[in-house]
């Protein structure tokens, strides 16, 4: 899966769970500061990403995933 495909898939999840339009989900965006996504929604996003990409995101990793690019990198590296 290319980084572009992961980004598109992630944007779909974020739109569904947090209502952020896909075109706003760009690599440099910080989940909390830019996209206004709280820790509870991040848990939902992580579970949905697990289903979509087949990559488990442990809690200790999740707290370090601050930006969209962080998640794309994590998925890319572990899939």
Partner 1 sequence: MSTKDQVSVVVTGLGATTPLGGDVASTWSAMLAGTSGVRRITEDWADSLPVKIAAPAAEDPMPTVGRVQARRMDRCEQLALVAAREAWADAGSPTVDPWRLGVAVTSGIGGIGSTLTAYDTLREKGWDRISPYTVPMLMPNGAAGWISIEFGARAGAHALVSACASGAETIGYGIDMIRSGRADVVVAGGAEAAIMALNIAAFAVMRAMSTRNDEPERASRPFDKARDGFVLGEGAGVLILESLEHAQGRGARIYAVAAGAGYSADAYHISHGSPDGAGVAFAISAALRDAQISPAQVAHVNAHATSTPEGDPLEARALQSALGDAAAGVVVSATKSMTGHLLGGAGAIESVAAVLALRDRTAPPTINLEDLDDEVTIDVAAKARPLAPRGATGPMAVLNNAFGFGGHNVTLAFTEYVPEEA
**Minimum distance, C-beta of residue 12 to partner 1, in the bound complex (Å):** 14
The residue annotated as part of the active site, out of 15, 33, 38, 51, is: 38
Active site residue 64: no
Q: What is the DSSP letter of 24?
A: G
Question: Is residue 22 near partner 1 by the rule CB under 8 A?
Answer: no
> Of the candidates 9, 12, 26, 47, which one interacts with partner 1 according to CB under 8 A?
47
**Measured between alpha carbons, how far is residue 8 from residues 22, 53, 59, 60 in Å?**
8, 12, 23, 25
Helix (H, G, I), strand (E, B) or coil at 44: helix
Stretch that binds partner 1, among 4-12, 14-22, 24-32, 65-73 (CB under 8 A): 14-22
Q: Report how far residue 53's alpha carbon sits from residue 57's, in angstroms, rounded to the nearest whole number.
A: 11
Q: Catalytic residues, which ones?
A: 38
């Amino acid at each position: 899966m290319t980084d572009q495909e992961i980004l598109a898939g992630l944007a779909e999840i974020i739109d569904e769970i947090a209502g952020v339009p896909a075109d706003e989900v760009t690599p440099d965006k910080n989940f909390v500061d830019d996209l206004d996504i709280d820790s509870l929604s991040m848990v939902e996003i992580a579970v949905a990403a697990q289903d979509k990409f087949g990559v488990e995101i442990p809690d200790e990793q999740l707290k370090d995933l601050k930006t969209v690019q962080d998640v794309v990198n994590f998925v890319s590296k572990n899939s």
